[in-house]
């Protein structure tokens, strides 16, 4: 058995055996298989897909490539949440403290940015001194103490996924259903939570562009969950436009604080309420309506924001010193009318090139860089209005902003549904 034969087999659209997938995972982890060889196989998987059995095998061997946490000492009300990635998606920063304030334990292992989509760990690292590298004991003890902890993928958890995840980000192999499913679920199996709410993003700003692919991804992750005794709910959500107004790490932290502190209205808040309600329903074994009532109460009475502050304090962060950029560019419109559409993907790419994401594997993130949308869907523009503000530490002579990011019309548009489907 050798990697060249396996690459060629997948290139020819043939299915890999359980033994071949085990060989790939183990030998890539030991560096016998090189990055350039793994990149070739990942591209073949992206182009030709995988069967369900191949995905089950890949998930199994990635999950078992490191330590499997036992969260059973925390009780049966531990719930995890994961998003497949989107532009401006800071839901974990909002949802985790809401759910924890309702008496549900939130065990959250998050990742860094992939492609044009931001990562929760990158956002948290924009908070000075915030510790994203909790030990297993610190992770468990903190959940016991305050009901919530957010850590990055530790050195001992799903080791193969950690290595493959970083490679996918810089080889154009992010948008693959088998690779997304196996990556997400291998981490969830290794983390040990038995209840999971998945936010599957669909649209221009997401890794998954259409509803059929989103359903396919959701169904395979639900099946992986069943095989591993994990109760999974998949919520398919609209990602054609950015979530909220802020894109970029410290900017998104600031917006999350604003929502938790002031219950700022809008589609981001609505999505967080939806995700939180399903998590609380799972964790407390109550119906959705009862859970939603509890979520709304804790947003209004300040309990959720106080839990956020507790989370930041426990992980040694200082939100009073969020990084700020040296340069600020106001982008003004030369058109008038109503905003009918905002291209989330193009904004994600722009934010990445400003420094908020990684183009190359070794890139250092500028935590202060990003974009604030000053106007949103169905807002009216007059010539000269500021449509968005760009923050960066790069001195930019010519911004060359793509004039197709915003679609402007003389009429308002019908707002798209936020929640597309819920699968269990």
Active-site residue among 60, 108, 168, 201? 168
Q: Is 305 left (phi over 0), alpha (psi -120 to 50) or beta?
A: alpha
More confident residue, 207 or 422: 422
Is 11 noted as a catalytic residue in this protein? no
Round to whole Å and give the CA distance between 163 and 286. 39
* CATH code of domain 324-409: 3.90.1170.30
Matching fold, domains 3-49 and 72-320? no
Q: According to the model, what pLDDT value does residue 136 have? A: 87
Q: According to the model, what pLDDT value does residue 111 have? A: 74
Q: According to the model, what pLDDT value does residue 19 have? A: 98
User: Any idea which of 54-58, 237-241, 356-360 has the lowest mean pLDDT?
Assistant: 356-360
Is 122 noted as a catalytic residue in this protein? no
Q: According to the model, what pLDDT value does residue 116 have? A: 65
* CATH code of domain 72-320: 3.40.1030.10
Q: Which helix (H) or strand (E) holds 338?
A: strand 337-342
Q: According to the model, what pLDDT value does residue 226 have? A: 97
Q: How confident is the model at residue 10 (pLDDT cuts 50, 70, 90)?
A: very high
For residue 341, pLDDT over 90 is answered with yes
Round to whole Å and give the CA distance between 146 and 151. 14
Active-site residue among 10, 60, 81, 82? 82
Q: According to the model, what pLDDT value does residue 398 have? A: 65
Q: What is the pLDDT of residues 121-150, one digit of tens each?
A: 999 999 999 999 998 899 999 999 999 999
Q: Under CATH, which architecture does the 3-49 domain have? A: Up-down Bundle (1.20)
Active-site residue among 183, 186, 277, 303? 183
Q: According to the model, what pLDDT value does residue 394 have? A: 85
Is 168 noted as a catalytic residue in this protein? yes
Residue 21 Cα distances to 13, 18, 332, angstroms: 15, 5, 52
Q: What is the pLDDT of residues 44-75, one digit of tens each?
A: 999 999 999 999 999 999 999 998 988 989 99
Report, as an integer, the average pLDDT of 331-345: 93
Q: According to the model, what pLDDT value does residue 169 have? A: 77
For residue 342, pLDDT over 90 is answered with yes
Is 82 noted as a catalytic residue in this protein? yes
Active-site residue among 122, 161, 169, 199? 161
Q: According to the model, what pLDDT value does residue 409 have? A: 94
Is 161 noted as a catalytic residue in this protein? yes
Active-site residue among 187, 194, 215, 307? 187
Q: According to the model, what pLDDT value does residue 262 have? A: 79
Mean pLDDT of the chain: 92
Domain ranges of the chain: 3-49, 72-320, 324-409
Q: What is the pLDDT of residues 145-188, one digit of tens each?
A: 999 999 986 668 889 998 998 899 789 898 899 999 999 999 89
Q: How many percent of the chain have pLDDT more than 70?
A: 96
Q: According to the model, what pLDDT value does residue 110 have? A: 82
Report, as an integer, the average pLDDT of 344-370: 86
Report, as an integer, the average pLDDT of 367-392: 95
| 3-state secondary structure string across 113-143 | CECCECCHHHHHHCCCCCCCCCCHHHHHHHH
Instruction: Look at residue 402 and give its three-state secondary structure.
Output: coil
Strand partners, 338: 380, 409
Q: According to the model, what pLDDT value does residue 85 have? A: 80
For residue 380, pLDDT over 90 is answered with yes
């Amino acid at each position: 058995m050798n990697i060249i034969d396996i690459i060629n087999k997948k290139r020819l659209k043939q299915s890999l055996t359980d033994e071949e997938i085990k060989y790939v995972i183990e030998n890539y982890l030991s560096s016998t298989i090189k990055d350039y060889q793994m990149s070739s196989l990942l591209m073949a998987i992206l182009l030709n897909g995988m069967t369900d059995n191949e995905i089950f095998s890949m998930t199994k061997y990635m999950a078992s490539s490191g330590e499997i946490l036992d969260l059973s000492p925390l009780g049966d009300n531990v719930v995890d949440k994961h998003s497949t990635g989107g532009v401006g998606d800071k839901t974990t920063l909002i949802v985790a403290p809401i759910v924890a304030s309702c008496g549900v334990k939130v065990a959250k292992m998050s990742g860094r940015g992939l492609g044009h989509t931001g990562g929760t760990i990158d956002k948290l690292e924009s908070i000075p001194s915030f510790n994203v590298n909790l030990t297993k004991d610190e992770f468990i003890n903190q959940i016991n103490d305050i009901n919530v902890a957010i850590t990055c993928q530790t050195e001992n958890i799903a080791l193969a996924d950690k290595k493959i995840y970083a490679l996918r980000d810089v080889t154009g192999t992010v948008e693959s259903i088998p690779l997304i499913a196996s990556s997400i679920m291998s981490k969830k199996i290794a983390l040990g939570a038995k209840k999971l709410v998945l936010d599957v993003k669909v649209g221009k700003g997401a890794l998954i562009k259409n509803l059929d692919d989103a359903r396919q991804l959701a169904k395979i992750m639900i099946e992986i969950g069943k095989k591993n005794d994990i109760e999974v709910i998949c919520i398919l959500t609209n990602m054609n436009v950015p979530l909220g107004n802020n894109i970029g790490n410290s900017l998104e932290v600031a917006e999350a604080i604003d929502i938790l502190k002031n219950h700022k209205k809008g589609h981001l808040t609505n999505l967080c309420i939806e995700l939180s309600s399903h998590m609380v329903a799972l964790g407390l074994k109550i119906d959705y309506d009862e859970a939603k009532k509890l979520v709304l109460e804790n947003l209004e009475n300040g309990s959720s924001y106080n839990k956020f502050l507790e989370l930041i304090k426990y992980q040694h962060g200082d939100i009073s010193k969020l990084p700020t950029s040296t340069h600020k560019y106001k982008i003004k419109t030369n058109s008038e009318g109503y905003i009918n559409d905002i291209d989330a993907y193009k904004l994600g790419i722009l934010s990445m090139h400003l420094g908020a994401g990684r183009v190359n594997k070794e890139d250092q993130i500028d935590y202060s860089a990003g974009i604030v949308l000053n106007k949103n869907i169905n807002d009216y523009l007059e010539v000269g209005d500021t449509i968005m503000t760009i923050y960066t530490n790069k001195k930019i002579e010519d911004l060359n902003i793509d004039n197709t990011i915003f679609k402007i019309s003389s009429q308002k548009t019908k707002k798209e549904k936020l929640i597309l489907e819920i699968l269990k």
